[in-house]
Structure 1
Amino acid sequence: MDLPKFLLGDNTDYSDNIFIIHTEFPRFIINLIDDEIEWLEDFQGEDQKQLESEVVTLIDLASKFYDREMERYKEE
């Protein structure tokens, strides 16, 4: 199965939250309301260094994905 890099998620148990799921390494779920990240990977050594250098960019990309999706919903 070919998955998109980002997925938009919601859950009625957390109705005020907006979740973006990043499906590529390093996989994570970010709550855009408070920028809390849940990592779906176990990091060690070099992976930790790579993560630290990429985290700001990944959060920015997740936010841009969300903005783009919301614009597309408005257009429909």
Structure 2
Amino acid sequence: MADSGPARRTAGAFDIRTIIALLFVIYGAVLTVVGVLQPAAEVAKAAGVNINLWAGIGMLVFSGLFALWVRLRPIVVPESGTES
């Protein structure tokens, strides 16, 4: 098999999208747990909508989409050569 050129390097963990996805996973997990454990009296104050649960689930879905984006379209880091 012929080599198609220099090896591609990706940003990996240093891709800002990965960091954003990780933060949304953390915040989404916290809100989901708070929404599940929230008393019914607190839900009644918000017109019967468990906003913490829905916001947490939304954040988890959003972070999953970001992770999918990172996986499907990785950022390629250019090779640094010794140019004069």
| TM superposition score normalised by structure 1 | 0.38
Q: Which has the higher contact order (CA 8 A, sep 6+)?
A: 2
| Structure that is richer in strand per residue | 1
Higher Rg of the two aligned structures = 2
